[in-house]
Every structure is written in C-alpha cells, then in structure tokens.
Amino acid sequence: MTIGILGGTGDFGQGLAERLRRLGEGVLVGSRSAREGIIANAEAAARSEVVFLSVPPGGVEATARDLADELAGKIVVSVASPVVFRKGRPTVDAGPRSLAELAQEAAPEARIVAGFHTVAARALFRDDPLDEDVLLSGDDADAKAVVAALAERLVTGRAVDTGRLETARWLETLTALLLNINRNYRSETGVRITGL
C-alpha cells in the first residue's frame, strides 16, 4: 500500500512518515512545492491509496478543495486540529464544524476519516513504542477499518471508533486539552480509552 502524506514536511508528517517506513510501508511525502525527496501534494495524492492530510489547520479546507479530483475515491485521513496559541497557551479557534467535515465538503468524493489527533508529533519522532490508543471517526466504515488496521500497527493500544465524522469536532478539540496538559507536565501525552 502506498501512503501519501500531504504537508509531510511538518513535524507530525515527518514523524509519521518515519514510523510508517519502519513498518515497511511505501510513503510519499508531499508539500506545496516539490523539492529534493519531496513531491507536490497533488502528485502524492494521485499516487497513493491512503492519504494523510497533514497540513496546518488553516490549509485543510483549501488543500482538500484544490485536490478534490486527486482525492476522489481515496481514503483521506484528516489529522489537523484548530489549535492556536494565545500568550503561549494552546486554545481553539474553530467554527461549529470540524476541519474534517470541512474537508469532506470540499472534497465530496474523498473517503474522509478523522483521527490521530491525540498522537503527539514529538512522540512520533521517538524510537519507543507509542503507548496509547488512536481515536477514529468517519462516515465510511470500510475506510475507517483500513485506517484502524494501520493505526493498530503504529501504537500498542487500539483503534477506537468514535462514530460518525461529526464526532471529529470533539476529537479535534481534544488536541487543545492534551497540549495544555503537555504544557503543565512538560510531556508528550496521549490517550487510552478504558472500560471498552
């Protein structure tokens, strides 16, 4: 399976690419402008079966719209959260709908799955196993199952289905909560769901 990472030059994208390569997956890293070792987002999208939309929150909707043709029929993982920093503190700047829902509207034929919002970019860069779950939301059950199988190879925990794509709203804001915890404890936290 070829996995494309759009916006793959960011911290999260780089860490994810490295982890996926270690699993033996073929990874194509895309960016807005192609350069050595990095192809254009459009090419990465066109050549991949699963595409991580790992661009900054302000670019999610526009990237999905610009690449709607390339993303049509593809499994597209929306990992961004609408987090901004005010006086050094992580907070949320969002409308009522999630970035994942906006991406789905902008690329209607993409099979959007939202997830990985609780996985710290810095934790991806480490070498140790990721002791956490991955939370996934989406309206396409088959697409969600493919991403779940991949997620469960990346973490020691499990892939937890949070339900329809709408639930991405509270997945995305959960990132702000974890970033505040990270700030208090100087750590890179994740989440496990207990009681399943």
Binding stretches for its own copies (CB under 8 A): 89, 91-92, 120, 123, 131-132, 135, 157, 160-164, 166-167, 169-171, 173-174, 176-178, 180-181, 183-185, 187-196
| Minimum CB distance to its own copies, residue 174 (Å) | 6
Instruction: Specify the residue for token string 């990985």.
Output: 116
| Minimum CB distance to its own copies, residue 175 (Å) | 8
Nearer Cβ to its own copies (14/91): 91
> Which DSSP letter does residue 187 get?
S
| Minimum CB distance to its own copies, residue 159 (Å) | 12
Nearer Cβ to its own copies (62/181): 181
Nearer Cβ to its own copies (9/162): 162
Q: Please tell me the number of Cα atoms within 13 Å of 81 on its side-chain side.
A: 25
| 145, burial (CB in 10 Å: exposed 0-12, middle 13-18, buried 19+) | middle
| Minimum CB distance to its own copies, residue 149 (Å) | 17
By DSSP bridging, strand 39-40 and strand 26-31 are parallel
| Minimum CB distance to its own copies, residue 85 (Å) | 13
Phi, psi (rounded to 5 degrees) for 100: -65, -40
Q: What angle do CA 17, 8, 62 make, to 5 degrees?
A: 140
Closest C-alpha to 100, from 127, 72, 61, 132: 61
Nearer Cβ to its own copies (39/165): 165
| Minimum CB distance to its own copies, residue 79 (Å) | 16
Nearer Cβ to its own copies (42/77): 77
Closest C-alpha to 162, from 114, 127, 111: 114
Nearer Cβ to its own copies (102/135): 135
Tokens of 84: 């901004």
